[in-house]
Amino acid sequence: MKSSGRALRLSIFIGESDHWHHKPLYTEIVRRAHDAGLAGATVIRGIEGYGANSRIHTAHVFRLSDDLPLVIVIADTEDRIRGFLPQLDDLDISGLVTLDEVETVHYTQSEHKRAHWWSTGGAG
């Protein structure tokens, strides 16, 4: 089964070395999104990029970086995303935050298929 609809995608671009209260900043953002009941959050680690300071960060073998680019992506209804934005204000984010209107497609297993999956031990 699938359903579709409109949503707002929040993307937060930061560096891997960004911290908040001695822990990774991305961990705090994901925790706050979870606590706010948002649909989900994903942290994606880039292999190369640069930001406002124009310094290139890369994961090339001969040039190891401890500050690779990260993006945290969260999609939910516009009201829920806009309601969450103030929770980012005290995190001292030194990166870009973007909002995009997106169309979502949500796939779910039917009850029959889920029962079959469990009864076969996850096979087929």
Q: What is the DSSP string of the chain?
A: -EEEEEEEEEEEEEETT-EETTEEHHHHHHHHHHHTT-S-EEEEE-SEE--TT---EE--TTS--S--EEEEEEEE-HHHHHHHGGGGGGG---S-EEEEEEEEEEE---HHHHHHHHHTTT--
Q: Where are the domains of the chain?
A: 2-107
pLDDT at 71: 96
Query: Are the C-beta atoms of residues 10 and 75 closer than 8 Å to each other?
Result: yes
pLDDT at 56: 63
Per-residue pLDDT of the chain (124 residues; tens, 9 = 90+): 888 899 999 999 999 989 999 999 999 999 999 999 999 999 999 888 776 666 665 655 555 556 789 999 999 999 999 999 999 999 989 889 999 999 998 888 766 565 555 565 665 5
CATH 3.30.70.120 fits 2-107, yes or no: yes
Task: Give the pTM.
Answer: 0.77
pLDDT at 55: 64
